[in-house]
Amino acid sequence: MIHELYFPGCETARNKIETLKRCDHVFCISENTQRDLCQILDFPIEKTTVTHLSYQDFSQYIETKNNSFLKDKPYFLYVGNRGGYKNFSALLEAYSVSPYLRNNSKIVAFGGGEFSEDESSQIKSLGLNRDQIVPANGPDSMLGIAYAGALAFIYPSQYEGFGIPPLEAMSANCPVICSNSSSLPEVVGDAALLFDPLNVDELRYRMEEIASSTEVRDKLNDFAKERLKLFSWEECAKKTLHAYERILQF
């Protein structure tokens, strides 16, 4: 199964390319991954199957919305690893240049551990502090509460093979602001506000838009309910099994 592609010079990429040469069939977790695989590595599309992933359902935490662990100000939620292509630094920059966001909201970075020295340095250089940019870690139950209580979930990644966290956020009735890169538009459809991950000002605008409008947030949540119906682990398993059966016939 192919999740994403790597830069040709790295060892992981070389190993993956050698493996692909011996494959009878490849499962791709998005149409974007399939397209990249076939275009960049000249892999035959007829030897691929797209099997969209699904998500962990956090809908049970919607009722905890008013019991959030941050009670003093609304917050934007970021989840997971913050390094490199995940583009957390762009989120910090977008927040820092908006007096409206700085005065009326915080950012919670859930998971990914404590801030690194480089992250702490960037936070300080942008004139921000740890009261505005809050690290948090904990079990899935705490993550569910974080999703449900957030003003919005932000996913600024520059590249993903699929993108599960936006769907998790939607399941908790949390509006989504999402990068328009790679597989992400394919996953979120019209149920998220999209932005160019290389354009900090565009992200700032999206954050201000969603923070200032209950109507926008409610509209996204309505779209999300329909979007989530397109993804299930049962459907993923059915497509995988069907592909196995088809391959074994040859």
Break the chain into its structural domains and give their ranges: 11-54+232-248, 59-230
Asked if 175 and 211 touch (Cβ cutoff 8 Å), the reply is no
Q: What radius of gyration do the chain's Cα atoms show?
A: 19
Task: Report whether 162 contacts 130 (CB < 8 A).
Answer: no
Fold of 59-230: Rossmann fold (3.40.50)
End-to-end CA distance of the chain: 20
Distance between CA atoms of residues 235 and 237, nearest Å = 5
Q: Report the pLDDT value the prediction gives residue 4, as an integer from 0 to 100.
A: 53
User: Any long-range contacts for 126-131 (C-beta under 8 Å, 24+ apart)?
Assistant: 126/92, 126/93, 126/96, 127/96, 128/92, 128/95, 128/96, 128/102, 131/106
Q: What is the pLDDT along the chain (250 residues), one digit of tens a residue?
A: 555 555 555 567 778 788 887 888 999 999 999 999 999 889 999 999 999 999 999 999 998 877 666 778 999 999 999 999 999 999 999 999 999 999 999 999 999 999 999 999 999 999 999 999 999 999 999 999 999 999 999 999 999 999 999 999 999 999 999 999 999 999 999 999 999 999 999 999 999 999 999 999 999 999 999 999 999 999 999 999 999 998 888 6
Distance, CA of 180 to CA of 139 (rounded, Å): 29
If DSSP states are collapsed to H, E and C, what string results for the chain? CECCCCCCCCHHHHHHHHHHHCCCCEEECCHHHHHHHHHHCCCCHHHEEECCCCCCCCHHHHHHHHHCCCCCCCEEEEECCCCHHHCHHHHHHHHHCCHHHHHHCEEEEECCCCCCHHHHHHHHHCCCCCCCEEEECCCHHHHHHHHHHCCEEEECCCCCCCCCHHHHHHHCCCCEEEECCCCHHHHHCCCCEEECCCCHHHHHHHHHHHHCCHHHHHHHHHHHHHHHHHCCHHHHHHHHHHHHHHHHCC
In the prediction, which pLDDT does 23 show? 87
How high is the pLDDT of residue 249? 82
pLDDT (0 to 100) of residue 165: 98
